[in-house]
Amino acid sequence: MTDRALKSRALMVAVVSSAALFGACRVDRATIFEPIGRPSFDFSFSPPATAAERALPGGTITVSRPGPAGSTAAGTVRIRLTNLQPLTSGVYQVFIGTQAGDTLRDVIPARGTLRVIRPVATVVDTTKTLDTTVTANVSSTNAGGANVVLEFTLNEASLGSNPTLPGRNVVLVSMQASETTTPPAIVSPLFGFFTTPAAGATAVTTNLLFGNYEPVTSRRYVFQAVGRGRGGVRGNVLAIDDTLLARPPIGFFYAAFALRTDSAGNALAPEYLGELTAPFPNRDRSLRNADTDTIAGVVFDRPAAISAASLRFVTTSDTAFVLRMGNIDIVIVLISKFAAEGSLPPNRILKGTLPGIVTSPPVAARDSTRP
Amino acid sequence: MRLLNALAAGAVLSAFAVPADAQQSTPQAQNYRTSLIVAKGGYINYERDLGLRPAPFVGMDLRYRITPFFALAPSVTVSQPRTDGDYFGASLIYDDTTYFFQVSQPVTMLDVGLNAVLSIPEVGAFAPYVSGGGGVYAFYLDPQVNSARDKRFSRFSLSAGAGATVRLKGGTGLQFEVRDFIMLDTDRERFNPVGARFNNSRFAEDFRAPSVYDKGSASHNLVFSVGFTFTPNSGAGRDTEEDR
């Protein structure tokens, strides 16, 4: 091989080696902090602190018997229902019967006098000035609302039999399409047990329970307002993730509302955000039927819980949640399936408040031209 | 996985071992039984769904002729693509604000394989061929952002392509090739170094990957290469005394 050929090959080797060395020494590292898009401003959800704020459907059963002691005269049963949502495609119907062991028998419609007690204007104390409607000889109603009390009073004349007959001890409040003479097949969401006092003794009051009634005690379900969650607003998107919610009683589903109040604390029109769904990537699966249907990994029968739920609400404008002077609460509520679509019930299961940077942002943060 | 790595290592060694005929036989005795060494480089256009950006590569083939028109060719290919941040997102929560990020990392792809090469009769100095084969590919991920368990994985691969060699003087030549490098049982999520707790699920719809992906599917990656070929001993008996 000639010197020229050797030099040529040596030059080639040098060039290739240099290129390989350059390539090998190139510093290329992972990039983990390359921001994309605008951030989200987050807030937390938690159950309201007091029972009055939670305002779950409930009520009381009060049983009284006139004196004197030893009298066998019929008593009176007064059933007060509170925090019910007005229904548009169904009624609440009250039944009375006998629970013996794990058996329910002798159930009849609790026909009586119904007083619908509504607060007047801003008066919410039901012992003060009230607007009361009285209807005789009924066992059902579709009335309801925040601070509205439905009071059924049963006596021998209205019921057709002694409401305090020995053995009678249970009141069921069903939610159904129309009034019937026997309880519907679906489970009653409100139920309670009472005892009859002796004639002339003090009236006995017990609470109604909210959940799923079953004659068999071990299968009964009492709803608890529990759960937690976190939400965020990113531009025109509100996203909510809730976890560990109690499964809704039969006939109810979870939904979210935006509640605006002005600077004086006056409530503005609520905005319905929609029903909760399974979390991403299954947001197309609604939890509307979580009361009756389980979803693998999301809705469980035992324990009766929803492990994770979400809601994604997209507005048409970046300023949809801008209020300037005021406050916006996002609330998770239980809605009756017989109520008007998108109507706000009295109850509040979870509540969160949008951060100030969302409701009253600085001008730069509202600039919709930002990526 | 260890078996695949062992196969990969074996293939690499065999690719660079000096073939027997190159040591013993003479061109005069078995003129067609010569080996063709191909040093190549080029560009791999990874399938978009895989989440890898296109990248250059270097490689080497050793084409061992069995018959005048058929050869077996162990090959090795190395490429260092970068993952595409559009496919891999993360979210970090600072107090009550969540920030979103793209995450990308350099990865090293090593493919070793054995191809069958069927030559088509030459037209002048132009020698076209088709090839196909299989092998093993391995990805080595950035150890700074991946756990020790996740920093490497390997799977089987297939390859099919066509090209042509242009003969130059002195047993050298140029090779042009296009092939479909098929990675079997691919898993895009293996390129995602983001831990589950940093995944963005609340606003996931706003940062969707540009395309959906079926885990375990085969990905088709287009390889364009240019190679320099050299035939050992091709000049034996023709070199001058001075050259020796």
Report d(CA A86, CA A145) in Å as an integer. 6
Q: Which of B199, B206, B242, B244 to mutate to test the interface with A (most CBs of A within 10 A)?
A: B206
Please give the pLDDT value at position A6. 60
Give the pTM.
Answer: 0.79
Distance from CA of B118 to the nearest CA of A (A): 30
Q: What tokens were used for B96? A: 């009550």
Please state, in angstroms and rounded to a whole number, the distance separating the CA atoms of residues A181 and A222: 25
> Min CA distance, A42 vs chain B (Å)?
5
C-beta separation of B40 from B228 below 8 A: yes
Block residue for tokens 């060494």: B37
Q: Do B203 and A232 touch (CB under 8 A)?
A: yes
Q: Where are the alpha helices (DSSP H) in chain A?
A: 3-25, 51-54, 156-159, 356-359, 363-366
Q: Which of B145, B201, B203 sits opposite A32 (nearest CB)?
A: B145
Which residues in chain B have Cβ-Cβ distances shorter than 8 Å to A279? 201
Q: What are the tens digits of pLDDT across the range B67-113?
A: 888 999 999 999 999 999 999 999 999 889 999 999 999 999 999 99
- What class has domain A41-50+224-359? mainly beta
Task: Please give, rounded to a whole number of angstroms, the shortest distance from the CA of A370 to a CA of chain B.
Answer: 15
User: A312: distance to nearest CA of chain B, Å?
Assistant: 8
**CB-CB neighbors (< 8 A) of A281 in chain B:** 204
Residue A239 burial (CB count, 10 A): 24
Q: What is the C-alpha separation between A281 and A283, in angstroms, rounded?
A: 6
Give CA A171 to chain center in angstroms.
24
How far apart are the C-alpha atoms of B179 and B225, rounded to whole Å? Answer: 9
Distance CA B171, CA A356 (A): 77
**Residue B238 sits at the chain A interface (C-beta within 8 Å):** no
pLDDT of residue B1: 43
From CA B183, how far away is CA A161, in angstroms rounded?
Answer: 81
Verify whether the Cβ–Cβ distance A39 to B100 is below 8 Å: yes
Could you read off the pLDDT of A280-300 as tens digits, one per residue? 989 999 999 999 999 999 999
Q: For A234, which of B101, B145, B203 is closest by C-beta distance?
A: B203
B85 touches chain A (CB under 8 A): yes
Identify the pLDDT of residue A5.
64
Cross-strand pairs, A171: A96, A192
Report pLDDT for A128. Answer: 55
Residue B197 C-alpha, separation from nearest chain A C-alpha, in angstroms: 14
Contact check, Cβ <8 Å, A32/B101 = yes
Q: Report percent pLDDT > 70 for chain B.
A: 81
Is B85 close to A234, i.e. CB distance below 8 A? no
pLDDT for A335 equals 97
Q: Which of A28, A36, A239 sits opposite B207 (nearest CB)?
A: A36
Using CB atoms, pick whichever of B89, B99, B207 lies closest to residue A39.
B99
Residue B52 in contact with partner chain A when CB distance is under 8 A: no
Contact B100 A37 (CB under 8 A): yes
Contact between chains at A32 and B90 (C-beta distance less than 8 A): yes
Burial string for A275-308 (b: 16+ CB within 10 Å, else e) reads bbbbbbeebeeebbebbeeebeebbeeeebbbbb
Distance from CA of B206 to the nearest CA of A (A): 9
Question: What is the residue-level pLDDT of chain A in tens, covering all 371 positions?
Answer: 566 666 666 666 666 666 665 555 566 788 877 888 899 999 999 999 898 899 999 999 999 998 888 888 899 999 999 999 999 999 999 999 999 999 999 999 999 999 999 876 554 555 555 678 888 899 999 999 988 999 999 999 999 899 988 899 999 999 999 999 888 776 789 999 999 999 989 999 999 999 999 999 999 999 999 999 999 999 899 999 999 999 999 999 999 999 998 888 888 889 999 999 999 989 999 999 999 999 999 999 989 999 999 999 998 887 778 877 788 999 999 999 999 989 999 999 999 999 988 888 876 554 544 44
Q: Which amino acid would we find at residue A369?
A: T
State the count of interchain CB pairs (< 8 A) between A and B. 86
The whole-angstrom separation of Cα B68 and Cα B75 is 20
Q: What dotted CATH number matches B2-17+36-83+106-190+211-230?
A: 2.40.160.20
Q: Choose, out of A32, A42, A314, the residue to mutate when testing the contact with B (most B CBs < 10 Å).
A: A32
Nearest CA in chain A to B142: A30
Total residue length of chain B: 244
Q: Are A193 and A98 in contact (CB under 8 A)?
A: no
Mean pLDDT of B209-228: 89
Cβ of A35 within 8 Å of Cβ of B100? The answer is yes
Q: How confident is the model at residue B3 (pLDDT cuts 50, 70, 90)?
A: very low
Contacts of B104 in chain A (CB under 8 A): 30-31, 34
Q: Which residues does residue B75 pair with via DSSP β-bridges, in sequence order?
A: B61, B113
- Which chain A residues are closer than 8 Å to B96 by Cβ? 41-43, 355
Q: In chain B, what are the domain boundaries? A: 2-17+36-83+106-190+211-230
Q: Which of residues 11-40 of B touch A (CB under 8 A)?
A: none
Distance CA A41, CA A234 (A): 6
B 183-202 near A (Cβ less than 8 A): 193, 201-202
Choose the closest CB to B102 out of A5, A36, A355. Answer: A36
Give A300-360 as a DSSP string. Answer: ETTTTEEEEEEEEEE-SSTTTT--SSEEEEEEEEEEETTSPTTPPPS--SEEEE--HHHHS
Query: Which of B96, B193, B201 minimises the CB distance to A355?
Result: B96
Q: What is the mean pLDDT of residues B26-55?
A: 80
Is A234–B206 a contact, with Cβ atoms under 8 angstroms apart? yes
The domain segmentation of chain A, as residue ranges, is: 41-50+224-359, 57-222
How far away is chain A from the Cα of B121, in angstroms, using its nearest Cα? 32
Q: Given a cut of 50, is residue B23 above it in pLDDT?
A: no
For residues B172-194, b (16+ Cβ closer than 10 Å) or e, as one string?
A: ebebbbebebbbeebbbebbbbb
- Residue B42 CB contacts under 8 Å (≥ 6 apart), including other chains: B56, B57, B177, B223, B224, B225, B226
B5 backbone dihedrals φ, ψ, rounded to 5°:
-65, -40
pLDDT band at B27 (very low <50, low <70, confident <90, very high): very low
CA-nearest of A157, A165, A305 to A228 is A305
Residue B14 CB coordination number (10 Å): 14
Closest-CA residue of chain A to B144:
A30
